[in-house]
Amino acid sequence: MAKPKQTTTRARQPAKTGEAAQRKRKGAAGEDGAKKRARKVEAGNDEAPETNDAHAVDVDNDASHANEGVADADPAEDHGAEMNGHQHTDEEVVATPTKSKPKKTKSTKQPAKSKPAAAPKKRKTRTLEDKQRENAPMNKAFYVETGEDWHATNVDFDELTELRAMWQLPAAAHVLWLLQQPLTLRACNTLLEYEAALLSPESSTLLEDVFTKLLLKKSERDCLAPGIGLKYEWWNKQLREYYLALYDKWYALLRKAGDKVPVTVSFLESSESEEDLSDSERDVELSDDEWLALDILKSRLEGLGAECPLQHQSFGELTVQQRCKILLNLCEAVVDDPANTDYIRQMEEDDLRNEPVGRDRAGNWFYFFPQFYQERRMYRVDVKTQEWTLWAKGDDAFRQMLTAMRAIRGRKLGGEQELIDHLEAIVEQIEEEAEVRAKQLEKATRKAILEAIPRKRSLRIQVKQIEQLEKQQEEVEAKKVMSQEEIAEMKRAEFLRKVEQDAERESREREREARRQAQEEQEREAAQAEREMRRLRRLEKEQHEEVLQQKLEEERKRQEEARKLRAMQRQGDELEFED
């Protein structure tokens, strides 16, 4: 295809001469102008067949406009040629470029090359397996334990796995979170701390604080500050005595009610005297309050087992599952205290109960605990096996879980969209916190850079001042730590002294009670002996009186017989006399 010729025209310019140039331009509209226009029209008609059909009309129009421009500009050019002493031809006039920007016409553009039509993309056929895979629910947890949180510790990961499969751990932590203020507990915002405490109870300061506050009375508890508790040896002993007393009371009520109890040595020794009682006699002896106490103890202690787990083992020797169950059991017992119940009633309903945030396509429920915000966790409860699984832990795991939930195709089921909404809110909060941390880091970096800029003062003096400030800060921190430790130790020693005094007072009271009971027993025995002696004397007297009565009766009988005999003799004598 031939390329159309580019037509350049000279812009209309005013004549640079005076009145003569104007008269010359007016007279140039005659024969020469008409001839030039005719030649231009013929030239445009000759070039038109060589161009594309689509641009033919544009080229003719452009050519006509160009000819008009040439006709208008020719008088001025002729006048200019005469002034310069030479005359241009028509072709030179047309080809001469102007100083002004040439007019762009449609014919000057390169015609666009037509692109071949793109072949339609072949749509991939979705098989049944593809549909099942896209609609399948999540079947793999988004968190795998790598041991990063347990660096430089002797943690048994099998026990950790068992502990994370128990719903009792977050339940107990939730109760302790609710009772922070009334129990004066230290704030704990991660479940990881409770896991570490239950895995190593002998050296855990968290369990010292928790079990000490759970086992003490309110008046004794107020003497200790949050985070301050007694050592493992003390609270382990108190915990054992507490549960042994509960089990003994439970066994006593069971024996009284005629139910079966575990066969233990202590039970056999205490139940030998009651083997001769019938079931009806035992049932009658229970009052309504005793039946209520029996039901409460049964519901509380059946979860720990029929026998007391602390009877022959310490808390640290139990399995991690038993430790967790004992912790939850003790927390539930403290919640039932009327003072704590009144405090909990004043809290918001959303804080009291953790409802599931949603469920997946398979019907599995998901639980999220917003109270432990420093270490976010999502738990899944299997709808078939009721198995409790740690499903997501950490910011990246929640992002991955949200992406996986969004990737599941198909219509959303009931509870599935609620789970996605909760995940979106959690991830949004994570992003906001990350943005805040980034700003804080940027601010700290900028401050460090500004502080690192050299000042006019000597570097040696600056280093010396920094060393002095660091030394002073270390001394202040050391004094603060020492003072806190001393205060805690003083409070602990004072409380232990008070506990020892209470124990001594209780021991004296028990001894006094034992002496009183012994004296009462002696008095009872003496009174019993006196009563027995009086009874024997009374029996002897009665026997003596009975013997005397018998003798008198015999004497009376003899006298009666003698009287009868004399009467008979007298009658005989009278008869003889008459004869």
CB under 8 Å to 54, separation ≥6 — which residues?
111
pLDDT (mean) for 196-220: 91
510 three-class SS: helix
pLDDT (mean) for 470-496: 78
pLDDT of residue 431: 93
pLDDT of residue 130: 65
CB under 8 Å to 264, separation ≥6 — which residues?
307
In the predicted structure, residue 58 carries a pLDDT above the cut 50: no
CA-CA distance, 252 to 353, in Å (whole number)? 36
> What's the pLDDT tens digit per position in 507-544?
888 898 989 888 988 998 999 899 999 999 999 999 99
269 three-class SS: helix
Strand extents, DSSP E, 356-403: 358-359, 365-368, 377-381, 388-393
pLDDT of residue 461: 74
Confidence of residue 264 (pLDDT cuts 50, 70, 90): low
Confidence of residue 197 (pLDDT cuts 50, 70, 90): very high
| Cα 530 from chain centroid (whole Å) | 74
Helices (DSSP H) in 15-167: which residue ranges? 19-27, 31-47, 56-84, 90-95, 128-135, 157-164
The residues with which 390 forms a beta bridge, in sequence order, are 379
389 three-class SS: strand
Choose among 41, 31, 33, 39: nearest CA to 76: 33
In the predicted structure, residue 81 carries a pLDDT above the cut 80: no
Choose among 309, 161, 295, 168: nearest CA to 244: 309
pLDDT (mean) for 137-153: 84
In the predicted structure, residue 14 carries a pLDDT above the cut 80: no
CB 13 within 8 A of CB 73: yes
pLDDT of residue 463: 77
How far is the CA of 120 from the CAs of 115, 117, 123, in angstroms? Answer: 15, 9, 9
CA-CA distance, 392 to 380, in Å (whole number)? 9
Confidence of residue 318 (pLDDT cuts 50, 70, 90): very high
CB 243 within 8 A of CB 287: no
Choose among 102, 7, 97, 10: nearest CA to 47: 7
CB 427 within 8 A of CB 398: yes
CB under 8 Å to 484, separation ≥6 — which residues?
none
pLDDT of residue 432: 93
Place of tokens 């509960």: 246
Using CB atoms within 10 Å of the CB of residue 354, give its burial: 0 to 12 exposed, 13 to 18 middle, 19+ buried: middle
Q: How many residues does the chain have?
A: 579
Choose among 175, 218, 213: nearest CA to 194: 175
Dihedral sign computed on CA atoms, order 475, 476, 481, 485: positive
How far apart, in Å, do the first and last CA atoms of the chain sit? Answer: 207
Dihedral sign computed on CA atoms, order 38, 45, 81, 26: positive
Q: Which of 218-232, 340-354, 413-427, 565-579 has the highest mean pLDDT?
A: 413-427
CB 267 within 8 A of CB 251: yes
Confidence of residue 126 (pLDDT cuts 50, 70, 90): low
pTM over 0.85, yes/no: no
Confidence of residue 175 (pLDDT cuts 50, 70, 90): very high
pLDDT of residue 378: 94
CB 308 within 8 A of CB 318: no
126 three-class SS: coil
| Higher pLDDT pick, 397 / 131 | 397
Strand extents, DSSP E, 153-217: none
pLDDT of residue 399: 93
Beta sheet of 388-393, edge-to-edge order: 358-359, 365-368, 377-381, 388-393
pLDDT of residue 496: 80
Query: How is residue 41 written in tokens?
Result: 């029209």
CA-CA distance, 425 to 406, in Å (whole number)? 14
In the predicted structure, residue 448 carries a pLDDT above the cut 80: yes
For the chain, give the percent of residues with pLDDT over 90. 30
Kind plus residue range of the DSSP H or E element containing 420? helix 416-452
